[in-house]
Amino acid sequence: MKILIVEDDKFFQKFYSTKLQENKVEVEVAGDGQEGLMKMRNSPPDLVLLDMIMPKMDGFAVLAARSQDENLKKIPVIIFSTLGQEKDVENAQKLGANGYINKGFFDFNSMVAKINQVMSSR
């Protein structure tokens, strides 16, 4: 499985990339929403972990752009953010997000369970 992590925080990029790679997952990283969309188009992943608060293009804009592209719509996206307000989560789901993980309360086993849940429902 190949996962694209779209996250601007270098610490989070490295930590989650390492943890996923330890679990035999191929990982690619994008540092902002524009780069994330480019990588989704050029080398489509099996799943995207998407931060919401980023420079250049935030997660909501990425979801909106994804919803306009027939090929990108097929790629499942899990929101991976500290944004935990119910309205933010609902807005992301309306834009096509397949799940939500609050990285402020991070538990790697819960993340793996959510990834497996989203992938098995495809």
**Domains in the chain, ordered, with CATH?**
4-8+26-103 (3.40.50.2300)
pLDDT at 108: 80
Q: Which helix (H) or strand (E) holds 110?
A: helix 108-120
pLDDT at 84: 65
Q: What is the pTM of this model?
A: 0.92
Query: Could you say which residues of the chain have pLDDT below 50?
Result: none
* Residue carrying the six token digits 């992590």: 5
pLDDT at 121: 81
pLDDT at 22: 93
pLDDT at 47: 97
Distances (CA, A) of 122 to 19, 62, 73, 77, 86: 24, 21, 12, 12, 25
Edge-to-edge strands of the sheet including 77-81?
Answer: 26-30, 2-6, 47-50, 77-81, 99-102
Distance CA 96, CA 77 (A): 8
pLDDT at 73: 93
